[in-house]
Structure 1
Amino acid sequence: MSTMRAVQVVGYHQDLQMTEVPKPEPTGPFDVVVRIGGAGVCRTDLHILEGQWAEKSQVQLPYTIGHENAGWVEAVGSAVTHVAEGDKVIMHPLVTCGLCRACRSGDDVHCETSQFPGIDTHGGYAEYLRTTARSVVRIDDSLEPSDVAALADAGLTAYHAAAKAARRLTPRDRCVVIGAGGLGHIGIQVLKALSPAELIVVDRNPDALKLALTIGADHGVVAEGRQVEEVLDLTGGHGAEVVVDFVGENGSTAEGLAMTRQAGDYHVVGYGENIDVPTIDLISSEKNIIGNLVGSYNDLCDLMALAARGDVTLHTQKYALDDFQSAIDDLDAGRVRGRAILTPEGI
């Protein structure tokens, strides 16, 4: 039996460890084994190490993390027809059944029997990963797996929220994006590609706003205490028809709702705090508070079409698989611009 390198959680509140484990093989007819070209390092991975997901995922330790994965098809089961060995693919983060009501509706994110590699089963901080035919999306030859890996989750989450927001936006509307970091910088590009609305971006970091203005934002507002007033000034005192909050903590939810126009939509994407709003205010203003999870398989296909035509590009910082600890430390310390990517085959 051949083996591979894999980075595993061996205990909560402990460092990850590089181990040798059996290389996965296709066992079911729809299995696809992918040789990893890039695995995104996400803040959720830090939360996993802190034990925040232990109760929710019920995962057995040790296991391999990594839920933003792309690479090349290594082997396929007997029933797989739409991808072949050597194809470049990105993986939808969930392995889904295809048979439940949610899957049949194209809403595979809410599959009744899904698995989530990197969260509740083995993920992509490794040389190979087993997934299924339902989860792999072929990517354009012009794209490299290590450049697009983080679009599998961070990008897909941003796309899902931005596409939902764009469905109601017209040329007369304004859309506020709170947070222009790893998710926000993708959301801005998606909104620019899908929506004719005016884009206002709010962030604490002036450098993040500079980037936002080069990738499609019409206005940048530095969050240093007066951001609600500044957004109201930019929207004629009414607020924006849509606010997309990629932060979701440190007071952004109250500010986001204050920036939302009457009968407007407030989308929550980032998380960390509770939303506290009197029901009378919700009723009298008729605002909608909308939760956003990761996107569907179809959302990922749409996002990869935008990536292939250059409308969405990911800013990345790459690390060899052996340097996994540096990537984790840099992310934790806020030293990563864009998204950190592990590359098993070197950079």
Structure 2
Amino acid sequence: MKAVRLHAYHQQPVIEEVDEPTVKGPFDVVVRIGGAGVCRTDLHIIEQQWAEKSGVTLPYTIGHENAGWVHDIGSAVSTVDVGDPVILHPTPTCGLCPACRAGNDMHCANSAFPGIDCDGGMAEYLLTSARACIKLDPGTRPEDVAALADAGITAYHAVRKAVPLLYPGTVCVVNGAGGLGHIGIQSLRALTATTIVVVDRNAEALSLAEELGADQTVLADGKQVDAVLDLTGGQGAEVVLDFVAEQGAQQDAFAMTRRGGAQFVIGYGGTLEIPAIDLISTERSVVGNLVGTYNDLAELMVLAQTGRVALHTVKYPLDAALDALADLDHGRVRGRAILTP
């Protein structure tokens, strides 16, 4: 089968032929990929940012946002059948550790993370587990929802955690309206009555944000912090969802957060520097976010399949994977790039 393989850090992946994965364990599932999302994390992987944390051995296949059709199943699989359309939770998990039993799938002590620490889904087939599979409605095309498996679930997870803070009359700033942010906006609109203020440096992204339900938009032109403070009577927002968290955006996000508010860090790449006295004197919180739970993804799929959350995509054939990565790197993708093997 064809696969997008990383052979060396700081070099572009190559598209090459590798063996198809096969079922080995009783709960294994092999999925024929219908859509694989292209994520900024893929760029960070190539840049070696994940090497120490993942411990992956090169070469390997990247791609961690995957959906498709069940191709083969292990002897104990009872939740999906061959031919079923599925979206895949990004981390196949054990189901037995304390984190799994508490429903915190992304903190499973025995999980794998295809596309991060083992072979991923930028390929024709992917090996996963029954625990990662969520069946799709028959009319749902995997390529239309694939990126919800990471970009979507990550944005939804952060919003879901912030919901108790976002009662009517509050303000939530969405910092960055790209692949994750545009899902965050729709999730906020579906789950809360908060006022949504979207900040982005790209005017086209702000236009999309308005279409998706943003109440106010702010162009990140160097004066975005002051603009948010003006919109909130000098107080700042109760919640800031920072989908950027690099190139100074992470510091802006903290400055946009009001006393007693919370900055949710979802993007990454930068370093957040906050004097301890600024935390204790204002009781602001900084909350980390990693992917989301199986139930988060299941809930998000209900919103997607009922039309309340829509993924804006640009599709590329698998053979054009390097073009998709380049377009993402240079800011030419509005929404999410999807590879379609």
Normalising by the residue count of structure 1, what TM-score does the alignment of the two structures yield?
A: 0.95
Aligned to 2:100, which of 99, 103, 127?
Answer: 103
After superposition, the C-alpha distances for 1:216-263 in whole angstroms (9 at most, x for unaligned) are: 110011111222222122112211111111111122222212211111
Q: Name 2:136's counterpart in structure 1.
A: 139
| Mean Cα deviation higher: 172-181 or 252-261 | 252-261
Displacement after TM superposition at 1:286 (Å):
0.8
Amino acid at match of 1:211: L
After superposition, the C-alpha distances for 1:56-81 in whole angstroms (9 at most, x for unaligned) are: 22212221111110000111111111
Q: Structure 2, unaligned stretches of length 5 or more?
A: none
CA–CA distance in structure 2, aligned partners of residues 262 and 37 of structure 1: 46
Aligned to 2:173, which of 172, 176, 180?
Answer: 176
Normalising by the residue count of structure 2, what TM-score does the alignment of the two structures yield?
A: 0.97
Aligned to 2:312, which of 289, 311, 315?
Answer: 315
- Answering whether residue 90 of structure 2 is matched by residue 93 of structure 1, we say yes
After superposition, the C-alpha distances for 1:144-202 in whole angstroms (9 at most, x for unaligned) are: 10111111011111111111112221111111111111111110000000011111111
Amino acid at match of 1:288: S
**SS at the partner of 2:327?**
helix
Displacement after TM superposition at 1:15 (Å):
2.7
Q: Structure 1, unaligned stretches of length 5 or more?
A: none
Alignment of 1:294-313 (within 5 A): 294-313=291-310
Aligned to 2:64, which of 52, 67, 92?
Answer: 67
Aligned to 2:191, which of 190, 194, 219?
Answer: 194
CA–CA distance in structure 1, aligned partners of residues 281 and 231 of structure 2: 23
**SS at the partner of 1:327?**
helix
Amino acid at match of 1:80: V
Alignment of 1:151-162 (within 5 A): 151-162=148-159
| Mean Cα deviation higher: 256-265 or 86-95 | 256-265
Preserved CA contact (<8 Å) 2:92 2:112 = yes
CA–CA distance in structure 1, aligned partners of residues 172 and 153 of structure 2: 19
Aligned to 1:264, which of 240, 261, 272?
Answer: 261
| Mean Cα deviation higher: 248-257 or 196-205 | 248-257
Q: Name 2:219's counterpart in structure 1.
A: 222
Q: Name 1:163's counterpart in structure 2.
A: 160
After superposition, the C-alpha distances for 1:122-158 in whole angstroms (9 at most, x for unaligned) are: 1111111110010011112232101111110111111
Preserved CA contact (<8 Å) 1:240 1:264 = yes
| Mean Cα deviation higher: 332-341 or 146-155 | 332-341
Q: Name 2:122's counterpart in structure 1.
A: 125
Give the aligned CA root-mean-square deviation in angstroms. 1.2
> How many residues are aligned here?
341
CA–CA distance in structure 2, aligned partners of residues 166 and 253 of structure 1: 21
- Answering whether residue 170 of structure 2 is matched by residue 149 of structure 1, we say no
